[in-house]
């Protein structure tokens, strides 16, 4: 019943063009290329330093996370723009390196994003399946301003992403598909509602076969777009 009500409400919201005037920043995680420059340390708030960026994971057959993230981000952006949103991506191509994680957060803050979603896939244990959403923990002076709306964004994303993709909630990450973490620079530095989506476990054979399908990648994009849409329509 809850699912039906949700679907009806979402359909009504879509017909009304719910995202007019809203801004969404999508961050396709990592970089298509590699340079030593991505290893330099950047300050992610509260005295913590992290690498500017990392290379990300891949399937065992070599399909890289950075390309998956970029493809899904573009599909999600296309759908969100159709619904009236202004969408900004933190990188424009899947070649080269950059920007650093600090800059990606700054883009979302500068654009005054109503929602910021960093799009990733995990390199977890081979026996573990599924997706999880990461929200910020409460850190005084860093995430206290965005803690509550980010938690709501995370919850809404978890249910919409699962409904659209049919992927299970992570069997290995804990948290019933919604994990709070204190250490991600993109969440520590965000001044707007922000989450990460770890769409699947690329090191698991079943998940890897799904994400290598172009049709399924479109579905991943729609899952993210629907999560953002329902968050901004609620
Ligand atoms: Zn990643």
Q: Give me the domains of the chain, ranges plus CATH numbers.
A: 19-233 (3.40.630.40)
Whether residue 12 is predicted with pLDDT greater than 70 in this model: the reply is no
Whether residue 8 is predicted with pLDDT greater than 80 in this model: the reply is no
How does pLDDT run across 23-46, given as a tens digit for each residue? Answer: 999 999 999 998 998 999 999 999
Whether residue 15 is predicted with pLDDT greater than 90 in this model: the reply is no
Which chain residues have CB less than 5 Å from ligand 1, an ion? 29, 56, 120
pLDDT for 210 equals 98
**CA 30–ligand 1 middle distance (angstroms):** 6
How does pLDDT run across 47-67, given as a tens digit for each residue? Answer: 999 999 999 999 999 999 999
H helix intervals, the chain: 2-15, 65-82, 101-110, 147-165, 185-188, 205-211, 214-233
In the chain, pLDDT over 70 holds for what percent of residues? 95
Q: How many CB atoms lie within 10 A of CB 138?
A: 14
d(CA 21, CA 29): 25
For 174, half-sphere exposure in the C-beta direction (CA atoms, 13 angstrom radius) is 3
Please enumerate in sequence order all residues whose Cβ is within 8 A of that of 113, keeping only pairs 6 or more positions apart, or say none: 23, 24, 25, 88, 192, 193
Q: What is the mean pLDDT of residues 157-165?
A: 98
Please enumerate in sequence order all residues whose Cβ is within 8 A of that of 224, keeping only pairs 6 or more positions apart, or say none: 26, 72, 73, 76, 117, 119, 157, 161, 197
**CA 69–ligand 1 middle distance (angstroms):** 8
Q: How many CB atoms lie within 10 A of CB 174?
A: 11
Q: How far apart are the first and last CA of the chain?
A: 18
65 is catalytic: no
Whether residue 220 is predicted with pLDDT greater than 90 in this model: the reply is yes
d(CA 161, CA 144): 26
Whether the Cβ atoms of residue 116 and residue 71 lie closer than 8 Å to each other: no
* Its pTM surpasses 0.85: yes
pLDDT for 234 equals 80
**CA 1–ligand 1 middle distance (angstroms):** 35
Q: 2 falls in which pLDDT band (50, 70, 90)?
A: low
Burial tier of 109 (Cβ tally within 10 Å: 0-12, 13-18, 19+): middle
**CA 17–ligand 1 middle distance (angstroms):** 31
């Amino acid at each position: 019943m809850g699912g039906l009500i949700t679907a009806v409400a979402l359909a009504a919201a879509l017909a009304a063009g719910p995202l007019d005037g809203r801004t969404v920043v999508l961050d396709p995680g990592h970089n298509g290329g590699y340079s030593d420059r991505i290893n330099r340390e950047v300050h992610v708030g509260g005295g913590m330093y992290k690498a500017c960026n990392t290379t990300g994971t891949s399937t065992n057959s070599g399909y890289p996370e950075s390309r998956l993230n970029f493809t899904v981000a573009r599909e999600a952006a296309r759908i969100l723009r159709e619904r009236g949103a202004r969408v900004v991506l933190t990188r424009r191509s899947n070649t080269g390196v950059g920007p650093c994680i600090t800059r990606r957060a700054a883009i979302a803050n500068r654009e005054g994003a109503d929602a910021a979603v960093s799009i990733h896939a995990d390199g977890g244990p081979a026996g573990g399946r599924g997706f999880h959403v990461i929200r910020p923990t409460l850190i005084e002076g860093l995430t206290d301003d965005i803690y509550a709306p980010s938690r709501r964004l995370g919850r809404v994303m978890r249910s919409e992403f699962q409904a659209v993709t049919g992927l299970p909630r992570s069997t290995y990450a804990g948290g019933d598909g919604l994990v709070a973490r204190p250490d991600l620079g993109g969440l520590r530095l965000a001044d707007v509602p922000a989450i990460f989506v770890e769409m699947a476990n690329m090191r698991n054979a079943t998940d890897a076969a799904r994400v290598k399908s172009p049709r399924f990648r479109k579905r991943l994009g729609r899952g993210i777009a629907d999560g953002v849409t329902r968050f901004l329509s609620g």
